[in-house]
A and B are shown apart, each in its own frame.
Chain A
Amino acid sequence: MAVLEGSRLTKRFSGLVAVNAVDFQIDEGEIVGLIGPNGAGKTTLVNLITGVHPPSEGEVYFRGERISGEKPYRIGRMGISRTFQVVQPFPGMTVKENAAIGAMFGAGGRGKTARQALERAEKILEFVGLADLKDRSSDQLSVASRKRLEMAKALAMEPQVVLFDEVMAGLNFGEIDQAVELIRKVRDDGKTILVIEHVMRAIKSVCDRIFVLHHGEKIADGPVDEVLNDENVIQAYLGKRYRELTERGD
């Protein structure tokens, strides 16, 4: 059974149809990629799944249970957590406290005291490689560290499903490889993952399957190689130049 499922998901912002009748399924333990040009509706889809926006039509199911229409905090507590494309730290708190907020109020937060959550946060920071910076103020971090903190906040909630919204944007090659490694580690930890990304190098190396949004509609869904060679996908997103380059092996 699919862990996370969307059925005919549609979101209209007055005249604009941001997401149009999108069906998707994500199975237990999968890493699924979501790609598409800017403005295709990728982040809107994440916002529909996490309850930031209620869908205009269609439903979201988590382990078969309908969750569309629920508030973000309820969905977070059920076990779906996310990162924000534009990172959203708690600026006046230390790195450790930032992660601890997730540990206190997320899916694993019930029954945890503040102190236990802070201990849990330290473990998560070790996991994402931020342990050295735990006592820093979160507004003193580099871009790469901010993205990692965003991941730490989501993971501290002990979710079953994590939605990574462009956690690699703005990173250099070395940092991207580290992030890919981290996403694999998260999967090995038993979590199901949706990765939204423009960095094709990362998508190719980490995803089991990808689907593509264009003008709010799903235009392809399947194994990575198949989708990246799909004529529609090349036209809409990758461009002919991408195929030429990849065929030459660059």
Chain B
Amino acid sequence: METKTIRYLLICGVGLAVAGAFPLFGNNFTIRFGTDILMFAVMASSWNIIGGYTGYASFGNVVFFGVGAYVTAILMEKAGLSFALAYAAGGIGAAVFAVIIGLPVLRLRGHYFAIATLGVAEAMKALVQNLDITEGNAGIYLPMLDMTVKHQYWFFYYMMLATLLLTLVATYLVLRAKFGYSLIAIRENEQAADSAGINTTVAKTAAFALSGFFTGLAGGVYAYQQAFIQPGPVFSVHMTVKMIVMAVFGGMGRLFGPLLGAVSIEVISELLSNYFLVAHTLFFGALVILAIVFTPKGVVDMVTSRRFGIAYFLQNIREHRI
């Protein structure tokens, strides 16, 4: 037990050191690439709270990203707030939004919940496209960060890294607390959870709000980084699909699963698009299918149980009846 904890801490420390030192050795392109990976790691890890641990597969989590981005943008541009305040407000705004839509939508389960969340995200996009305060489809400009280009890259990289750390530490603390147990109980058997004394409505809504909060923070950093946002990109379904694929690929309901998924998916798709200019999405799709078939519990399960052989793949296929 003791050695296991030490090894665990050691791996976390090394990972953190590598991530922290990364910009010192990278050029602008690689730092920007790293920032993207971190951003998707935040979103996939946030999705994991509601989709992985609570068992409610949200297909509209991008809405929190968009809300966070727009709250940050509007507060900085129109209210003249500093980034620090607007960043926090972006997360809080997304969390409040999650509570408001969560209360009705979290009454639905399974496919119905998935479709309802998808609908919420699309409806929100349409709303933002037509409001005055968001300046519609024309988009909204943010103040520029007053730094050298190199330091800008560094700033956004470390902001995303800090946001990711916040997300992972919060998830870790949740999992150790009663709240975390209540989420997993809801995923495993909601009726039994209810009769065991869990207020499922409150627990689910809190999980959704937490998921929204961190996704919103990532949206705020993204908006400032881009210095210009439009409804189309920040409310894109494509982003939701990406965070789900990353979480599933890495391992749903595992703390480091989505992070591992984000890193591997981004790196693989980058490599593929370098080698195959036209057909890279084809290869990429095939790879995702293979991963789902052979390692449905995610890459993290394969790494932690240290089984890479054919026996492990066959066992997975048998267990999941494919």
| Interface residues as binary, B177-207 with A (CB distance below 8 Å gives 1, 0 otherwise) | 1101110110111011111111110000000
A79, chain B: closest CB distance, angstroms: 10
A89 with B189, Cβ < 8 A, contacts A105-B178, A114-B177, A114-B178 known = yes
B199, chain A: closest CB distance, angstroms: 5
B311, chain A: closest CB distance, angstroms: 20
Question: Could you tell me the dominant secondary structure of chain B's interface residues?
Answer: helix
| Interface assignment of B176: CB less than 8 Å from any CB of chain A | yes
A106 with B196, Cβ < 8 A, contacts A100-B181, A114-B176, A117-B178 known = yes
Considering only residues 43-61 of chain A, those with a C-beta below 8 Å from chain B are 50, 52
Of B185, B191, B196, the residue contacting A157 (CB under 8 A) is B196
**What residues on A are CB-neighbors of B182 within 8 Å?**
101, 104-105
Q: Judge whether A105 and B184 touch: CB under 8 Å.
A: no
Q: Judge whether A101 and B191 touch: CB under 8 Å.
A: no
A97 to B187, CA, bound (A): 14
CB-based nearest B residue for A114: B178
A100 to B196, CA, bound (A): 10
Most chain A C-beta atoms within 10 Å of own C-beta, residue among B181, B195, B199:
B195
User: What number of B residues sit within 8 Å (CB to CB) of A?
Assistant: 21
**What residues on B are CB-neighbors of A37 within 8 Å?**
none
A102 with B196, Cβ < 8 A, contacts A90-B188, A91-B188 known = yes
**What residues on B are CB-neighbors of A82 within 8 Å?**
195
**What residues on A are CB-neighbors of B199 within 8 Å?**
71, 73
Considering only residues 94-112 of chain A, those with a C-beta below 8 Å from chain B are 97, 100-102, 104-107, 109, 112
Most chain A C-beta atoms within 10 Å of own C-beta, residue among B188, B192, B196:
B196
A76 to B194, CA, bound (A): 8
Q: Judge whether A81 and B176 touch: CB under 8 Å.
A: no
Most chain B C-beta atoms within 10 Å of own C-beta, residue among A81, A104, A109:
A104
B316, chain A: closest CB distance, angstroms: 16
Of B176, B180, B185, the residue contacting A90 (CB under 8 A) is B185
**What residues on B are CB-neighbors of A107 within 8 Å?**
197
A114 to B182, CA, bound (A): 10
A101 with B181, Cβ < 8 A, contacts A93-B188, A114-B176 known = yes
CB-based nearest B residue for A150: B192
A180 to B192, CA, bound (A): 24
Using A88-B192, A92-B184 as known contacts, list a sample of 10 further A-B pairs with CB atoms less than 8 Å apart, ordered by residue number in A: A73-B198, A77-B197, A89-B192, A90-B184, A90-B185, A104-B178, A104-B181, A109-B197, A113-B178, A114-B176
8 tightest CB-CB pairs across the interface, nearest first?
A105-B197, A90-B188, A76-B197, A88-B192, A106-B197, A77-B197, A72-B194, A72-B195
User: 8 pairs across A/B with beta carbons < 8 Å?
Assistant: A76-B197, A89-B188, A90-B192, A105-B178, A105-B198, A107-B197, A153-B192, A157-B197
